[in-house]
Amino acid sequence: MPPGYPPAYAGSGLLLLHRAFYGARRAFPVRWFEVAHKATGLHPDWFTWPTSQRVTQTQLPPACDGFLYVVRAGDTLFNLAQRFGVSLDDLIRANPQLTDPSRLQVGQTICIPRQPGPPECPNGILYQIRAGDTLFALAQRFGVTVAEILAANPLITDPNQLRVGQIICIPRPAPAVPFCVLLLTPATGVTGTGVLVANISAGQVGVALFGVPDPGTLPGGFTRYAVVIEGPPGTVRRFNLVRVAEGIWVGAQDYATALPSGGTVRVVPTTDTVDGNALFTGSLTDCRGVVLT
């Protein structure tokens, strides 16, 4: 072999330089090889392509939003995608000149697409995918749902194809909401159960009655049940309940301001103008805290 004999495809470097300066539309002047040979004194094969190994313009990526890579022995698109942290689909899309993506040729030039930057994550943390990670396992670990992780990562097109090294956003779990539960006390002779659930500081309250008689069967011609919450003198809050099934009445109200922590609660049958005797009573002081998430 003559001294200074070049490696395979050395001439492709000149073609890539030409494309860098002029783009793909301008034809490559073959005379560049002759001029470069005379200027450098290197072996002529540095500036010619053997016919069996010729790389043509159509064998190069038409455009590359990333960087060009020369294929080496043992390379596959799969291990290149793993090495450079891109998806196999993105790598194939960036190289439409590949007629058979499963058969790369040593010395072939391909495009490694630019790796997307980390997602915006203003209300969470950035997490780098490790071997064995799944969205379900991550959701369990960080106390969020898979749907919430997907909403924070719109670039995840296939939840079952996470890449090791991939950066994703883990949203912060919704803050716990302090509620309390109060079992209402039935009046003498009243059957059924009454339950109150409230976020006292936020002014949110709901009541459900189970197994109670229809208000129309009570003396007084009543049409519905209402909840009355009384705090300091002159402070009264009330809302109506709705019948959802035989013997079941429910209702809720968001007052947007705190409920009186020591307020009393009455559930009464009512018309549009007159209240009857309370069927259930209770005090918000006895409302026992729970955490709803």
Q: Which fold has domain 124-171?
A: Membrane-bound Lytic Murein Transglycosylase D; Chain A (3.10.350)
Q: What is the pLDDT of residue 176?
A: 64
Per CATH, the number for 12-113 is 3.10.350.10
Q: What is the pLDDT of residue 246?
A: 92
Where along the chain do the CATH 3.10.350.10 domains lie? 12-113, 124-171
Per-position pLDDT tens, the chain of length 293: 333 333 433 444 445 544 444 444 444 444 444 555 455 555 444 444 443 444 444 467 777 888 888 889 889 998 888 788 787 888 888 898 888 888 898 888 899 888 766 678 888 999 988 989 999 999 999 989 999 999 998 878 788 888 888 889 999 887 666 789 999 999 998 989 999 999 988 899 999 999 999 999 998 889 999 999 998 777 889 999 999 999 999 999 999 888 887 899 999 999 978 999 999 999 998 988 765 44
In angstroms, the CA 230 to CA 235 distance is: 6
In angstroms, the CA 125 to CA 143 distance is: 13
Which CATH number, 3.50.4.10, 2.60.40.10, 3.30.750.24, 3.50.50.60, labels domain 177-292? 2.60.40.10
In angstroms, the CA 176 to CA 288 distance is: 16
Nearest to 242 by CA among 257, 224, 228: 224
Scanning 131-285, the segments in alpha helix (DSSP H) are 135-142, 146-152
Q: What is the pLDDT of residue 67?
A: 84
In angstroms, the CA 211 to CA 248 distance is: 6
| Per-residue model confidence as pLDDT tens digits over 118-177 | 678 888 999 988 989 999 999 999 989 999 999 998 878 788 888 888 889 999 887 666
Q: What is the pLDDT of residue 53?
A: 40
What's this model's pTM, rounded to 2 decimal places?
0.43
Q: What is the pLDDT of residue 39?
A: 54
Q: For every residue of 127-175, which 3-state class applies, written as one string?
A: EECCCCCCHHHHHHHHCCCHHHHHHHCCCCCCCCCCCCCCEEEEECCCC
Where along the chain do the CATH 2.60.40.10 domains lie? 177-292
